[in-house]
Amino acid sequence: MTTRPTFDTTAVSGSDADGRPIGAREGSDAASGFRSPWAPPLTGSSPETAGPGAAPFGPPPAGQIPPGGFPGGLPAGPATGALPVSVSPGGENPPPGQNPPPPGQSPLPPGQNPPTGPRPGSPWGPPPSAPWPGGSGGSGQGPGQSWTAPGYPPPAGAFGTGGGPGGPGGPSTDSARPGPARGRRRLVAAAVALALVSGGIGGGVGALVASQDDSGGVTSTDAGLNRDANGAPVAPAANGTVSKAAQVILPSVVTISEVSRTEAGTGSGVIIRQDGYILTNNHVVSGASNGGSLTVTLQSGERLDATVWGTDPSSDLAVIKIDKTGLPAATFGDSDALQIGELVVAVGSPLGLNGTVTSGIVSAVHRPVRTGDSTVQDQNAVLDAIQTDTAINPGNSGGPLVNSDGQIVGINSAIATVGGSSGPFGQEQQSGNIGVGFAIASNYAQKIAEQLITSRRAAHPYLGVSAADVSSDPTGASGEGAKIVKLVGGGPAEQAGLVVGDVITKVDDRVVADTDALIAAVRAHDIGATVAVTYTRDGQTQTAQVKLAQQP
C-alpha cells in the first residue's frame, strides 16, 4: 500500500562527444569544423579543401573540359561529400571519354525513360557485393558499429560520395573529411527525432489524404508521412503472451483506497466471485478494520464503498466485499504446477497507478517469507511464497500474479529492499522494486479465501513444536535444519515420537533449511494430513509419520 508521490519532469541537457550542446543545430556554415551528412552542398569554395594542391571545386568552366573528358569522371565536389554538380540520372558520372550532354538534352535515347530506382553501383544503389562477411551489402553497417545507414534513395540535398563500406551512410573512407563521422550521424539522428516530436506536439498530425501507394492500405498525410489506412481493430493477442494474460485478468483487478485514523493509501485486489467478493492482503485493509473506510475502483472507473468481510493476519490475506453483482471473477490456477523460469504477469496499482501491467519470470518457489507486518504477533506468520523478478512496487500489494493464461498463481504481497532512505521531513522511504518480489502461492491463497468467505476466519495446521535455526554458515546464507527446543504436550510431534534436540531436515520431499522453512512446509498441507518428517538424532537420520492438527 502506498500514497502517490509527485512526479517531476527533468529537462535533458549536456553536450555531445564533440563538446557542443546537444540542442545545437547542425548548419552548413563554414565556421563548423564538421558538416552534417544531411546538409545541402556548399556553393562556394570549400574551406576544407582550399589550399595548395587542392582538387578543382565543382564543374569546370565552359570550354575547359579536356579532350576525352576527365579520367574517371568529373572532378570531385567539396570534401564534405556533396554531390557533383552535374551527374547522370542514376547518380553516376559519365564514363571516361564522354562529356555531359548539353543543357536541356537528355542523355537517353528517344522514348526511353530514366530508371526510377537506384542503379547498382550508383552512390544510392545497393553495392555490388556484401562488404561485410555474412551481410547483404545494403545495411550500411560495419562490424562493431551501433548505428545504421540511412536507406536509399537519400533525402534531397544529401551527400553522395558513395560512402564507405556498406553503401551510403557507411563508415566514410574519404580522407578529406576529418572528424568522427559515426558520432555525427548519431547526433543528427537525435536532432531529427527531437524535431519530429516537437512538431507532433506543436502542430498535431496532418490530415489524411486519399492517395494510396501500391503497398496496400497505406495513405500519406499532408506532411508526407505514411500511415496505415485499413482502420482494422486491434489484433487479438496471441495465447501465451503477456498481452493475452493482461486482457484476461485486467477486468478482475481493482484498486483499493483505505482511509483510517492514522493513515491513507492505496493497494490492489482481485475479484474472485461475481457477487462482489475481492481477495487482497490483510495489510492493505487492516486500517479499515479498526474504524476506517474502504473504496474500490473498478477498471471501468466506477467507485464503490467496500466492507471488510474477513481477515487472516497470519497469512496476510483478507476478503472484502462490494455491493454489486455480475462482476468478472478471475480464475485460480495451480501454483504447484509453476516451473522455474515460467512467464508470469503482475497487475495492480503501484504508486496509485491503477491497471498497471508488468511481467517477468518465476525466480523460485516455496520461498519462506515473513509477512513483515509489525501489528501481527503470530510467530507463525510465514508465507510459502513464489519469488519473481516481475516489477512489484508499493501499491501492488493484494493484486494478482498470473500465468500466461491469465489465471491467478499468486497474490503479490512483499518485496525485498536494499534499505530505505529518509525523506525531506524524516519519513522513511522505500527503495521500490529491485527485481526480488514475493507472492503468496495461489493454492494456499484459495484455501484461505474459501475459509474467509464461508466463516470469516481461517484455521491453520501445525506440528506442535518450537524450533531454532541450525547453521554452521556464519553468513546465514544456508541452514541445516530446524532444531526442536520445545514440544507441545500431546501435540502432533510428541505423539509421533519426536523429542527435544531432534533436527528436522525435511517435510515430505521439501527441504527444511530453517525454522521459517519448517512453518511454510507445514502450512502448505491441510489440517489432518499425514506428512513424513525427516530428522536427525545422535547423528542418525530417521523418519516419522506425523498427523497435523489445527493450530490452537
Query: What is d(CA 471, CA 469) in angstroms, rounded to the nearest whole number?
Result: 6
User: What CA–CA distance (Å, rounded) separates 180 from 198?
Assistant: 27
Bridge partner residues of 388 (DSSP)? 362, 437
Question: For residues 145 and 169, is the Cβ–Cβ distance under 8 A?
Answer: no
Residue 405 is a catalytic residue: no
The grid cell for 254 is: 481493482
Active site residue 316: yes
Per DSSP, the three-state class of 495 is helix
Cα–Cα distance measured from residue 20 to residue 463, given in angstroms and rounded to the nearest whole number:
71
What's the alpha-carbon Rg for the chain, to the nearest Å? 36
Q: What is the rounded CA–CA span in Å between residue 259 and residue 385?
A: 28
Cell of 328: 468478472
Please state the separation of Cα 505 from the chain's center in Å.
40
Contact 154, 40 (CB under 8 A): no
Check: CB of residue 329 under 8 Å from CB of residue 274: yes
Q: Which of 139, 172, 283, 516 is flagged as catalytic?
A: 283
CA-to-CA separations, 3 to 30, 115, 539, in angstroms, rounded: 56, 65, 53
Residue of 316, 384, 514, 516 marked catalytic: 316
Dihedral of the alpha carbons of 39, 44, 50, 54, in degrees to the nearest 10: 90
What is d(CA 103, CA 207) in angstroms, rounded to the nearest whole number? 40
Residue 333 CA to residue 343 CA, distance in Å, equals 14
Q: What is the SS3 string spanning 434-466?
A: CCCEEEEEHHHHHHHHHHHHHHCCCCCEECCEE
Task: Count other Cβ atoms within 10 Å, centred on residue 488.
Answer: 17
Active-site pick, 46, 122, 335, 397: 397
Specify whether 525 is catalytic: no
Quick check: 375 and 313 in contact, CB under 8 A? Answer: yes
Q: What's the maximum distance between 2 C-alpha atoms anywhere in the chain?
A: 118
Which grid cell sits at 496?
509421533
Distance CA 462, CA 369 (A): 17
* Other CB atoms within 10 A of residue 456 CB: 13
Q: What grid cell was written down for 278?
A: 475481492
Asked if 466 and 501 count as a contact pair (C-beta separation under 8 A), the reply is: no
d(CA 184, CA 168): 15
Go through the chain and tell me how many residues it has. Answer: 552
Q: Which residues contact 100 (CB under 8 A, 6 or more apart)?
A: 74, 86, 94, 107
Separation of first and last alpha carbons in the chain:
30
How remote is the C-alpha of 206 from its chain's centroid? 31
Catalytically annotated residues: 283, 316, 397
